[in-house]
Amino acid sequence: MGPSDPCRGLLQEERELIAKSRTVEPSGAVTLRQQIKDIRARMSKIPELNQLMAIRRGSPATLQDLSNISNSIPKQKVYYVN
């Protein structure tokens, strides 16, 4: 297991929960939102994922930030759109 595996796992888990939250009954949405919040709290402790979340929030990113994110996800194409 390489250093990017925890990142990949958290991102995948977040994606799955978000997809599930779009189809779940309202009564189950509260639990899913809490699980997503918990995952994002864990993600914020990993520098690369914290940078990714900052970009999602619209925080400005430097070229070095983008390079760090891209380099932390080996064998994956990463696209940035301005």
**Residues 23-77: pLDDT tens digits?**
999 888 899 999 999 999 999 999 889 988 988 898 887 888 788 877 877 777 7
CB-based burial label for 60 (10 Å; 0-12, 13-18, 19+): exposed
Average pLDDT over residues 6-12: 91
Global pTM?
A: 0.68
Confidence of residue 4 (pLDDT cuts 50, 70, 90): low
In eight-state DSSP terms, residue 73 is S
3-state helix, strand, coil in the chain (%, to 5): 65, 0, 35
Domain residue ranges of the chain, discontinuous segments joined by +: 5-71
